[in-house]
Structure 1
Amino acid sequence: MALRIELGAAGLGSVRLTSDAVWETVASLHVLTFPRQHAMHLRLRSRLPSSPGYDLPFLLALTSDRQWFPDILAPAPQVDPPHPLVQIAALRDTEDAVLRSDLEELSRRRPEFAFAGAAQYADKVATELSAYWRDMLEPIWERVEGVAIDDLAYHSRLIARAGVAQAVNEVHHELSYGDGALTVAFHRTKATVSCGPEGVWLVPSAFRWPWIAVGQPASGCVISYAARGSALVWEPRGTAGEPDALSALLGRSRAAILQALDLPRTTTWLARRIGVSPGTVSDHLSVLAASGIVVSRRDGRQVLYARTPLGADLAEGGPAAWRAAP
């Protein structure tokens, strides 16, 4: 079974990458509803409170049906997504036709959940999902978001080096490009659809691992795929076994900065983590960047710093990598 998404006249130019908090939050709910399929993230279940301050049965009911998924939980992403709670609150503005379709299906499949109308349904979804995000995901969101940013940076660099077609083929093993279309091999239906007027969004997800999911908002298609490095939500990458040697090579502060960059970080975050001023961190990052150890990229209004492959080797690879450093 496979889903073929025809890209139309724009071709690969209609394919874009971004992150999305609603898609990520829903993926985390799938960890709870389908734990055997998301073994990497079973630790999330241990975060569940004994008496949650939100309607967890309702949220799990919306995300546990293998044959149906509510369209309100599959919104079109944005180029520069705002804060997660702003994205979730925007679900209240979902088109009435989408809400009515959801309600019709919900009344048939889960009649225990009854609503007076579309507005009440949308408000209930947004309210409960916001409370769930605050309780379950906000404490770890920095790492969840970091995984997505790291994945987006990797595929953006791949696009620059090898082109969109090659980058798409490396996004996920079940996703491929050919003959003017994207094919999602792991899909419950066999169908061909148009990408829509806004094209195709590729959205990395830490909690989606190891799967891929497709949504079809009215404006286009969304492909949510397992992000690279998803395990970093729970476990940082291994750090060098001999930190004193790394400090001797780079200096103590620069070594601490490099080891803190297991995920992309801002200067402000690094300053808090290392315990020095943002100006000092900026000076160290300039030296590390000039040495090819870190790179920077703009993400909205902030600048993020990440390790290069050489930087990762230095932070994780041990003395052999340090001896090869410039």
Structure 2
Amino acid sequence: MIEWEFGPADVAGLRFAHSPMAEVVSSVFALRGEGGPHESWRRRVDPELPRWPTFRAVLCGPLGYAPDFLTPPPRTGRPGLADELAEVAATPLDVVAAQVAAGWAGHPPPPEIDRFGRDPAAGLARLGAEIRAYAAVAIRPWWPRLRAAAATEIAGRGRIAAEHGARRLVDGLHPRLGWDGAALQLRYPHKSGRWSLDGHHLTLLPTGFAGGQVYAMPDSPAGRTLWYGPRGFGNVWATGPVPAAGERLTALLGPTRAAVLTLLAAPHSTGEVATRLGLSAGTASHHLTTLRDAGLAAAARAGRRVLYERTTLGDQLVSEGN
């Protein structure tokens, strides 16, 4: 068990954001895994890694370490990749050199890492260019879904806090997270420790590529962040048939409305629901409105789109009806 000192007074400083660089870095962690919802994405991206040797050397080193300067806490709730890369580019060069070297401590570094010791400015510029190129291949095609999943997660957490209070918001974030009123608890069976916010606010980052893991930055001078997978993160990569609704759910709601509610395990717009279920836009809108009015689905705006996702009550109904 890892504990992060986090009392009721700290709730006032709690904020949510969605970080493109958190998605970039956690996607590299996902590349190291096997199976799971990322498997088809991994098969597509992994062969491309040799195109970005500096990126690969910095983020795929022998210690599995990602430099903290790559993921500063977002200044706004919805930064773009260019915004965050501008912050990365402004990192003091001595910090860049030290953190890059730390990822190869005790191992002979390749030329791409040695460059940061000789000319950290050139190394950082090269790294930034390769991050942009990597993101164009590995992140951009999935970006609307990743952003939508985060937006719906954040809106849903706001509803939970309003309806049930801050404790429920924090305690229900992730299966590996809990809150006892004095500390945020990260449930890892083979790790232990205790951290402090040390005067910083905590930024929670729903991150699609985090999947079932929780990643914490407990001692960065820039701030404290915690990355976790939003609800329904596995559906970000779903391309196959829509899961069938259960017989009891179908009998209760009717086949079309049951199919819509089943689909809303992940956020969808009206158009996406219509396309995936073969409905007219008007029919999809009618069912979504009905589910929303019944408290089974909730709507959240993500940019110009309105996204629908199941509420806790909707989750319970689908679970019991399958």
Is the shorter-chain TM-score for this pair beyond 0.5, marking a shared fold? yes
User: Which residue of 239, 243, 246 maps to 1:238?
Assistant: 243
Partner residue, 2:155: 153
* Structure 1 position 225 matched with structure 2 position 228: yes
Q: What is the CA distance between 1:300 and its match in structure 2? A: 5.6
Partner of 1:17: 16
Partner of 2:77: 80
Give the Cα separation in 2 of the matches to 1:282 and 1:173: 33
Tell me the equivalent position of 2:68.
71
1:58 to 52, 55, 60: 55
Across the aligned residues of Structure 1 and Structure 2, the Cα RMSD in angstroms comes to 4.0
2:212 is the alignment partner of 1:214:
no
Letter in 1 for 2:210: R
User: What runs of 5+ residues in structure 2 fail to find an aligned partner?
Assistant: none
Q: Which moved more, 1:147-156 or 1:47-56?
A: 47-56
Q: How far does the alpha carbon of each residue in 1:189-230 deviate from its partner, in whole angstroms, 9 at most, with x for none?
A: 634333443x11121222222221111432321111233322
CA distance in 1, matches of 2:6, 2:198: 5
Alignment partners' CA distance in 2, 1:9 and 1:229:
28
C-alpha distance in 2 between matches for 1:178 and 1:293: 29
Contact 1:203 1:222 in 2 (8 A): yes
Establish whether residue 5 from structure 1 lines up as the match of residue 13 from structure 2.
no
Question: Structure 1's 272 and 194: CA in aligned 2 closer, same or farther, altered over 3 A?
Answer: same
Task: State the Cα distance separating 1:296 from its structure 2 match.
Answer: 1.9
1:99 aligns to what? 96
- Contact 2:5/2:194 (<8 A) preserved: no
Say whether 1:48 aligns with 2:45. Answer: yes
CA offset digits 1:225-283 (Å, max 9, x no partner) = 233322212337614479xx89x959x8x888767645324457668877867x99767
CA distance in 2, matches of 1:241, 1:173: 25
Give SS of 2:155's match.
Answer: helix
**Aligned amino acid, residue 234 of structure 1:** W
Does the 8 Å contact 2:7/2:181 carry over to 1? Answer: no
**How far apart, CA to CA, are the structure 1 residues paired with 2:47 and 2:274?**
36
On the 8 A contact 1:296/1:306 being kept in 2, the answer is: yes
Task: Look up the match of 1:305.
Answer: 308
Report the alpha carbon displacement of residue 30 of structure 1 after superposing the two structures with TM.
0.8
Aligned length: 310
- Contact 2:236–2:266 (Cα < 8 Å) also in 1: no
Partners of 2:94 and 2:306 lie apart in 1 by 39
Which TM-score applies when normalising by structure 1?
0.74
Q: Give the 3 Å change call, closer, same or farther, for CA 179–310 of structure 1 in structure 2.
A: closer
Deviation for aligned residue 1:23: 1.0
Distance in 2 (CA, whole Å) between partners of 1:172 and 1:195 is 23
Equivalent residues of 1:81, 1:87 under 8 A apart = no
CA deviations over 1:123-151 (Å, ceiling 9, x no partner): 22222122111112222233333333343
Q: Secondary structure at the match of 1:210?
A: coil
What one-letter code is carried by the residue in structure 2 that aligns with 1:178? D
Partner Cα separation in structure 1 for residue 37 and residue 275 of structure 2: 29
Aligned residues of 1:76 and 1:219 also touching (Cα < 8 A):
yes
Q: Secondary structure at the match of 1:48?
A: helix
Q: Which amino acid aligns with 1:44?
A: W
- Which segment is superposed worse, 128-137 or 62-71? 62-71
Decide whether aligned partners of structure 1 residues 176 and 98 sit closer, same or farther in structure 2, where only a CA change above 3 A counts: farther
Q: Are the aligned partners of 1:92 and 1:126 in contact in 2 as well (CA < 8 Å)?
A: yes
TM-superposed CA distance for 1:100, in Å, is 3.6
* CA distance in 2: counterparts of 1:93 and 1:275, whole angstroms: 49
CA distance in 1, matches of 2:21, 2:154: 17
Structure-2 separation of matches of 1:185 and 1:312: 24
Is 1:119 the counterpart of 2:124 in the alignment? no
Amino acid at match of 1:21: P
- Secondary structure of the 2:18 match is coil
Report if aligned partners of 1:89, 1:126 keep a CA contact under 8 Å in 2. Answer: no
